[in-house]
Amino acid sequence: ARATIGLTGLAVMGSNLARNIARHGHTIAVHNRTTSRMTAMLEEHGDEGDFVGAESLEDFVAAIEKPRVVLVMVKAGPGTDAVIDDLVPLLEDGDIVVDCGNAHYADTLRREERLKEHGLHFVGTGVSGGEVGALNGPSIMVGGTDQAYERLGPIMESIAAQVDGEPCCAHVGEGGAGHFVKMVHNGIEYADMQLIAESYDLLRSVLGLSPAEIADVFKQWNEGELESFLIQMTADVLRHTDAATGQPFVDVVQDAAEQKGTGRWTVQSALDLGVPITGIAEATFARSLSGHADQRAAAREVYSTSPEGERVDRDRDEFVDAVQKALYASKIVAYAQGFDQIAKGAEEHGWDVDLGQVAKIWRDGCIIRARFLGRITEAYAAEPDLTTLLTTEYFATAVKEGVDAWRDVVATAARTGVPTPAFSSSLAYFDGLRRERLPAALIQALRDNFGAHTYQRVDREGTFHTLWAGDLSETEA
């Protein structure tokens, strides 16, 4: 055995990750179910480092030094189970199986339990950054045991993106924490993209700017606090012209956004945990709405004769500035909600997750990489038990400065008929949090009326019920 690590599953993500590992001086055994994919990869890239090509799983496992580290990068779901089934009989006590695919964390928990019975470590690992990240330095969120990380960590840290000499890779927590954190990362990515899309829609619909003009706006935003991979990418995409038609590229793309499921998982988990992640949920539903072509066509037919939204005349610079502020404030809300979900998930599952460290390893390599994340790391460093990111001085200042513009943008969107579910729900969440009294009091009273669900009083301890069908007297439950 001469390879320090092995990787099976050489589609685009797996082969790029293997090349990244080899380029960093690690000898890597490579395998793929369909052998031709492995030989093709070695033919094309074999000179980039020290690869050991294996045609069978037996040869693959035999090529790796013990305790073995086997990275699995196959299609998530049954594919992962199939590979695990084949690997388990070939592995020995203390070997480490690392699932780098986009698995649901509940599957990871189940697989970890199963492999533990065989004396094996199972490490669910989130890898973000798409294919380019896999090759040049992704952000890596590792779960599983401390013991497994001791062997795996140094290799993964060496191939991850680096910021100021620090790797964007960490053992974020035990068990399924790696895949849980990756799931929320993807949920936040949904919210980020939805907020960007709403900003674009407002600038185009309210101000009448062209995609190229909006590209300039995003380019300018990318020089300030909003600086991020996605804002830069938005400028590039909006500037792109379709070669076939000469139209702005964004106008020839069908307006139905797809999803592979991580956004949905994030929302499902949030419902179970009781965490209001309104930004991510609205972003997920907005994609879903965009895909309902039949309902959209039917609604257009019925309502297109009704007055459209109002036309408003807005000063260009002032409105661009307002949208920027609304975007930033809504983004702060979406991240506060996402980090809240990670905190609650960690509490629920008994994982020790350092939220500041999570923000730190998202600073580069991953899709949501942004200047902003450094601020989140600072916030948790100053106050590790922070209840919500919204109350830290830096973010509170930004929200207070932006709140008038935020209201103006949401009101303008409503008046002009531009749908802004993420902007609007983020503002509602913010207003809900800061409100002295919520109408939840009325809901609780109604619940007591129809279902004797009881209530607490503001003025004294105890649990009470009013005899709604009787003499309206109050009883103590």
Residues contributing to the site for ligand NBP (CB under 6 A):
9-14, 32-34, 37, 73-76, 79, 82-83, 101-102, 127, 130-131
Q: What's the min distance (Å) between Cβ of 123 and ligand NBP?
A: 15
**Phi, psi (rounded to 5 degrees) for 139:** -100, 130
Find all residues with CB under 8 Å of 113, minimum gap 6, and list them.
Answer: none
CB crowding 184-219: b at 16 or more within 10 Å, else e: bbbbbbbbbbbbbbbbbbbbbebbebebebbbebbb
Paired tokens of 241: 């012209």
Nearer to ligand NBP, 14 or 421 (CB): 14
Active site residue 189: yes
Alpha-carbon distances, residue 147 vs 33, 105, 144, 166 (angstroms):
29, 20, 8, 21
Query: Measured from the CB of residue 73, what is the shortest distance to ligand NBP in angstroms?
Result: 5
Is 360 an active-site residue? no
**Between 107 and 198, whose beta carbon lies closer to ligand NBP?**
107
CB-nearer residue toward ligand NBP: 83 or 235: 83
Nearer to ligand NBP, 34 or 147 (CB): 34
Q: Shortest Cβ contact with ligand NBP: which residue?
A: 101
Residue in this structure with the two tokens 């013990």, named with its chain if needed? 66
Joined together, the tokens standing for residue 432 give 């809900």
* Least spacing, CB of residue 157 vs ligand NBP, in Å: 18
3-state secondary structure 435-471: CCCCCHHHHHHHHHHHHCCCECCCCCCCCEEECCCCC
Q: Active site residue: 112, 174, 189, 282, which one?
A: 189
Beta carbon of residue 423, minimum distance to ligand NBP (angstroms, whole number)? 28
CA distances from 295 to 198, 203, 258, 418 (A): 21, 26, 17, 18
Q: Which is nearer to ligand NBP, 101 or 173 (CB)?
A: 101
- Decide whether 68 or 179 has the Cβ nearer to ligand NBP: 179
CB neighbourhood size of 23 (10 A): 16
Residue number, 31 or 287, with CB nearest to ligand NBP = 31
Buried b (16+ CB within 10 A) or exposed e, 435-471: eeeeeeeeeeeeebeeeeebbeeeeeeeeeebeeeee
Contact criterion met (CB below 8 Å) for 27 and 3:
yes
**Min dist. Cβ of residue 47 to ligand NBP (A):** 22
Residue with Cβ nearer ligand NBP (13 or 329)? 13
Q: How far is the CB of 138 from ligand NBP (least distance, A)?
A: 8
- Cβ distance 463 to 448 under 8 Å? no
End-to-end CA distance of the chain: 70
Q: Given the residues 157, 174, 182, 331, select the one marked as catalytic.
A: 182
Whole-number minimum distance, CB 132 to ligand NBP, in Å?
9
Peptide bond between residue 307 and the one before it cis (omega within 30 degrees of 0) = no
Residue type at position 141: M
CB 361, min distance to ligand NBP, A: 15
**From the CB of 81, what's the least distance to ligand NBP, in Å?**
8
Q: Which is nearer to ligand NBP, 90 or 418 (CB)?
A: 90
Catalytic residue positions?
182, 189
